[in-house]
Amino acid sequence: MDKPQPKAAAIIVAAGSGSRSGGDIPKQYRAVRGKPMLRHSVEAFRAHPAFGTILAVVAPGQNALAAAALEGLDEVIFVTGGAERRDSVNNAIQYLDKNSFTGPIFIHDAARPFLSSAVIDRLLDALTSSDGAVPALPIVDSLSRGNAEGALTETVDREQLFRIQTPQAFRHDVISKAHKDWNIGQVPTDDARMAMAAGFKVTIVEGDENLAKFTFADDFHRELGQSTKMQDIRTGMGYDVHRLAKGEELWLCGLRIDHDFGLAGHSDADVALHALTDAVLGAAALGDIGDHFPHSDAKWKGASSDRFLAHAVKLAVEAGFRVTHLDVTIICEAPKIGPHKKAMQARVAYIAAIVADRVSIKATTTEKLGFAGRGEGIAAQAIATLVK
């Protein structure tokens, strides 16, 4: 049996002054698309199942600003930044070293808030065969040198020239050694430069125009103009009904609920997970639950519906999507769903590999009307939101 791979760590560098962008506070704490810039990056890593540790490198005296920007995200670890970017990153790497961390390390600029799961996935794939990896875009404009008088002097060949972005990803031992061994006597342009100087191989993966860095005041106006095309957002709906019967177990949202009646069906008849599965598949245009788990296949007899939702999420991720929100409403007269909501929320989040605050569990009755009102069955409807 293969040994499970350690979770990755994200180091988000947010220790700069941000003075060139203007404003009353450093740019990493200014609102972009409705939330502080730093929060965008933290949420992107937090939503990706590969990450178990998130560090925000904060300038001395800015902990209160960072805490306000990340309110509710208590698992983020604050590390104090240094005089230069390299010092800030090194402080975070030393923290990981002291805590015996061994997984991949992603180093990201807080000033690049719009990080997609697709870029993260490309970097993770590259690390299977390389010491490090960076997202980059080819240069498409003509390049020229000029003199002190402002006149063009020569054209520069743009072949094999790239615009390097972040996050930059490395094996832990690689970037730790690169920082310890850096003695060139100048400020490195980025962590990839340090890894290459230490003799390691760094691979280029496809970058993303949405990862453009916020540097100047006008960049915030640029963002407003581009916001409608930053992400491809999809929504899917799901609905399911199962009959209540004596002698059956009652499973809802992956939990076994004590009740006089259970739901009858080919699998464990978890209507909530079935509705969520169809919602995820629908958002990604990947068919429905019957296409993937047909009643005619005996291997799904009595199967746990956890497998259905987890498989739907896996297919969506493989198609380039990230599940950002799941919402399900359970329709029944009994049992009471309220006492189980928190546990259901946690269970669905675990199955779908997302954080719990991206799962909504609701319940309603039909005022004694219809099959649900007569206690003959339970229904569920769900909505899934995916981002590409």
User: What does the alpha-carbon distance between residue 364 and residue 381 come to, in Å, rounded to a whole number?
Assistant: 11
Domain count, the chain: 2
- Give the CATH number of the domain where residue 84 resides: 3.90.550.10
User: What does the alpha-carbon distance between residue 293 and residue 113 come to, in Å, rounded to a whole number?
Assistant: 38
289 in the same domain as 182:
no
177 in the same domain as 47:
yes
In this structure, is residue 201 part of a structural domain?
A: yes
**Quick count: other Cβ atoms within 10 Å of Cβ 317?**
19
In this structure, is residue 3 part of a structural domain?
A: no
Which position has the token pair 């909501």? 341
Query: Is the Cα torsion angle 134, 135, 139, 144 positive or negative in sign?
Result: negative
268 in the same domain as 164:
no
In this structure, is residue 247 part of a structural domain?
A: yes
User: What does the alpha-carbon distance between residue 175 and residue 181 come to, in Å, rounded to a whole number?
Assistant: 10
In this structure, is residue 2 part of a structural domain?
A: no
User: What does the alpha-carbon distance between residue 177 and residue 189 come to, in Å, rounded to a whole number?
Assistant: 17
Alpha helix positions (H), the chain: 37-47, 63-69, 85-98, 117-126, 172-181, 191-197, 217-226, 271-283, 289-292, 306-318, 341-352, 370-373
Which residues have CB under 8 Å from 278's CB, separation 6+? 236, 237, 238, 239, 240, 288, 289, 382
Which residues have CB under 8 Å from 160's CB, separation 6+? none
Paired with 263 in beta bridges are 244
Q: Of 229, 253, 272, which one is at a domain's C-terminal end?
A: 229
What angle (nearest 5°) sits at the alpha carbon of residue 309, between those of residues 308 and 314? 100
In this structure, is residue 359 part of a structural domain?
A: yes
Return the axis-axis angle of helices 306-318 and 341-352, rounded to nearest 10°. Answer: 40
- Give the CATH number of the domain where residue 260 resides: 3.30.1330.50
197 in the same domain as 175:
yes
Cβ atoms of residues 317 and 280 within 8 Å: no
User: What does the alpha-carbon distance between residue 175 and residue 89 come to, in Å, rounded to a whole number?
Assistant: 10
327 in the same domain as 242:
yes
378 in the same domain as 291:
yes
The single-letter code of the amino acid at 103 is G
pLDDT in tens, the chain (388 residues): 455 678 999 999 998 755 444 456 788 888 877 788 899 999 999 989 999 999 999 999 899 999 998 988 888 999 999 989 999 999 999 999 999 999 999 999 999 999 999 999 999 999 999 999 999 998 877 878 888 888 888 877 777 788 999 999 999 999 999 999 988 778 888 999 999 999 999 999 999 988 888 876 665 655 544 444 456 789 999 999 999 998 888 999 999 989 988 888 888 889 999 999 999 999 999 999 888 888 777 777 768 889 999 999 989 988 888 899 999 999 998 999 999 999 999 999 988 888 888 999 999 999 899 998 898 999 999 999 998 7
In this structure, is residue 282 part of a structural domain?
A: yes
Q: What DSSP designation does 374 have?
A: T
| Domain range for 123 | 8-229
Which stretch of DSSP H or E encloses residue 82? none
In this structure, is residue 57 part of a structural domain?
A: yes
195 in the same domain as 246:
no
158 in the same domain as 20:
yes
221 in the same domain as 325:
no
56 in the same domain as 121:
yes
Q: What DSSP designation does 298 have?
A: G
Tell me the C-alpha to C-alpha distance, in Å, between residue 219 and each of 30, 116, 118, 165, 212: 12, 19, 24, 16, 9
203 in the same domain as 75:
yes
**Quick count: other Cβ atoms within 10 Å of Cβ 329?**
18
Q: Of 172, 202, 229, which one is at a domain's C-terminal end?
A: 229
Taking the model in full, what pTM does it have?
A: 0.60
Q: Of 195, 213, 229, which one is at a domain's C-terminal end?
A: 229
237 in the same domain as 218:
no
